[in-house]
Structure 1
């Protein structure tokens, strides 16, 4: 695992659809998700672009987190990048027994598609 300046690669995924202009000419792309705890975001570098999911803690004990924004550059939408960010973030917070409030509409959609897996950790 790579650790530097409060940033670490938390997951690598192989996307089975080609990711446009991400610098690879094959049919697959490895997407590395970095958790930048200092800036409270998970992100994926996509060439010169960046897809990200931002959050804020809701309590001083850091047991509740508000997942606020998910942004995928337009050229990369529809290729599963947002889904990778959502899964990694949800798995991280569930694994750390932190409850999640889903302010972001995309994360609400992801949750509806994966309710059983995350139901115990999502709060209104």
Structure 2
């Protein structure tokens, strides 16, 4: 808590189950001068519900963050929500809290907010990567994949030798387009986009055609990518969530991963 909010005040309880029964806690809340409270607790039906209801009774506007509070059964959560709503508490989730505080993406710390959302729900990273690629296409006036056939330029490509000494005949490096490619036949192509920073290969985004989902294409692509990077003598930086998940289950590549 103090790592993210160093100004936060810790108030010790002396056995009270309901934090609102502790005079020091109430005094600390009043000292903030705020009339709106955001409350979460260890147990939804107790630690969250009790002070939320009590604060409403004392004239505060209270938002209870349900997914930041724990529970032991679906029934307990449902009856607790019914209780707090009847008492005037407004239930919400963590993402809604963050969004209401953030208000707009047009702010200098937007990237930090994006990082917060990826911690709340990791799949959001995929949306961020897609948006970043769309922005790159718009800024650099690239033609979308769906509108052209790719003809890889092999000039300057990384060596196509695998970690085990075998040739990776299907995954190639296309430095002209800043991506590794896996030809799936016809116009279909799986790709892992990257940029080079200080001699390291920063993997930023992976795309696999929807028609090939669930067929192991992503794993084949990732294996080839890691093998090519290994053979090149470079290090990999995993900014792509898919590549990070692949590495988590393939620790044999630990010697080439550098962040």
Do they superpose with TM above 0.5?
Answer: yes
How many residues were matched structurally? 98
Higher share of residues assigned strand: 1
Distance in 2 (alpha carbons) for counterparts of 1:36 and 1:76 = 21
Q: Quote how far apart the aligned CAs of 1:123 are.
A: 1.6
Aligned counterpart, 2:258: 123
Aligned counterpart, 1:55: 194
TM-score of the aligned structures, taking structure 2 as reference length: 0.35
Q: Quote how far apart the aligned CAs of 1:45 are.
A: 2.8
Contact 2:171 2:180 in 1 (8 A): yes
Please report the RMSD computed on the Cα atoms of aligned residues, expressed in angstroms: 2.0
Aligned counterpart, 2:203: 67
Asked if residue 110 in structure 1 is aligned to residue 241 in structure 2, the reply is no
Higher share of residues assigned helix: 2
Question: Structure 2 unaligned runs (5+)?
Answer: 1-151, 161-167
**3-state secondary structure, aligned to 2:172:** strand
Greater relative CO (CA pairs within 8 A, separation 6+): 1
Distance in 1 (alpha carbons) for counterparts of 2:258 and 2:201 = 10
Distance in 2 (alpha carbons) for counterparts of 1:38 and 1:72 = 20
Q: Which of 137, 154, 175 is the aligned partner of 1:37?
A: 175
Question: Structure 1 unaligned runs (5+)?
Answer: 13-31
Asked if residue 76 in structure 1 is aligned to residue 212 in structure 2, the reply is yes
Contact 2:191 2:206 in 1 (8 A): yes
**3-state secondary structure, aligned to 1:39:** coil
Q: Deviations over 1:64-122 (max 9, x none)?
A: 1101111001110111111111111111111222111101111011101101x111211
- After alignment, is 105-114 or 43-52 more displaced? 43-52
Asked if residue 92 in structure 1 is aligned to residue 239 in structure 2, the reply is no
Distance in 2 (alpha carbons) for counterparts of 1:93 and 1:33 = 11
Point out the structure with max Rg over C-alpha: 2
